[in-house]
Structure 1
Amino acid sequence: MGVSRQHLTALLIELAASGLALVRWKPNGKFAPWLFRFGGHKDAETPPDVVSSPRDKSLSRDSKNKNIFAGRIEIADETNVHRTPWADLIKAAKTSLACWNVDTQVIWERFLAFNRARGNARVPAGFLLGFMRRWRTSSSSTTSSFASRPELQRNADLKTQELHDQIRAAPSSNRQFHASDLCRLIGQAAYEARVIHTVRQFGCSRFAAALAVHGQAVLAGEISK
């Protein structure tokens, strides 16, 4: 929908305070989805099975720390983050994340490179917040006084390309077979060690690391594609 969870919460609070008498409840148990109903005072007098209360934590009710990442980001847009509407949001969001001490421009450039490497031309704004939340603290994600930003960008692009080349060598549709074949060949412990090493090397998720390990094995002739 292109609307953040926090912004949706603010809208629901406004509706609850309006004359529309918005009520939300769970008639099918604690873990069922919330249902919403508009009604007058007469309807509101009949208590639903499970009513929302001020202590409810299923939505972000506090106004602090709300970073509204709504809309879409054009990956081919301005490379200077301070000429975009995203600079202030990045600054506000990074204070509580692993990238708190990373320059806003560096975060923006790595986000653009990350999506360009995947062929993404336009992504939901929430992807930017997710990218920051998964930030890996490493030499590739921090600024250096001895390296210029273009050099850091080139290094990040090369590393991303290397990871993708390895992943492409072993299609994800066969990952379970590749994992089984490789574990039989080198053992479960050695397999786990390779995956962990790849996670640390590229700062990627375990899923991507496993695919890259399978690709490495295919390229080395250890297992077949």
Structure 2
Amino acid sequence: MEPTTGLILRRITQTELSVSAHKLATIILDGIAWKEGYNGLSRGTAAFTLSALAEKMGVSRQYLTVLLTELEASQLQLTRQKPNGKYAPWLFRFTAFDEADEIEDVASGRDDTSLSRKDYNKTVFSGHININAVSNVFQTCWADLIKAAKTVLPCWNVDTQVIWDRFLAFNRARGNEKVPAGFLLGFMRRWRTAPGTAAQPKEAPTPQRTPDPKERELHDQIKAAPSSNRQFHASDLCSKIGMAAYEARVLEVIRQFGCQRFTAMLAVHGRAVLAGEIAR
């Protein structure tokens, strides 16, 4: 059974996570492409910059890293990569749903469907466009796709036919007779507004929440020990002080900050690094 929005959302709610990690998981889920080629993404993948995620969450970049690490270590198995260069968005994927056996565990049945699987719920630019075939966009299958996609792009207030005409002229000038449909979406994303044209109104940026002193203290402790080495830190610290003492420290952090166990473990590792008990 193929994963759907409802299926992944059920798994998110069933997974033991902090409240903030649950929220982050749903934000990433909301951006997942469910059709190959949607926004230029492969199926099951979401694209975000870390600054955009931090703004949506209302947290600092440092705390966002902690939350991402929590999702990576959870049963959701979040993975992220940046294959398209330094300034490109990160690509996120819940790899727990890549295996059929994992999906069957939480699926309600093979008749379960989701709106996200319907073609008309996503703007998909797939196939190829013949540049010299039809000049009237409304006689093609691309008119509805252009109208749907442009609402969130720089060409939001440009007539659909004008977009199509300029796209054809752009490719004819370069000698292109047939191009991938994704080129049209990319062309719209890079639309240059003529001087004097009204700009699309933007929402006021969400003010950054100022972390309280206790939260800042917790973040500073977590930063002291790279979360990617958490398993080595736990092993080294348990070998040095014993499992019982390790658990006691974790419980102490939970009581002090009211955080989840995973976050408390990272803080314990950071404290140990700062105290010189284990290597960073």
TM-score bin, normalised by smaller chain = 0.3 to 0.5
* TM, length-normalised to structure 1: 0.39
* Greater RCO, CA 8 A, separation 6+: 2
* TM, length-normalised to structure 2: 0.32
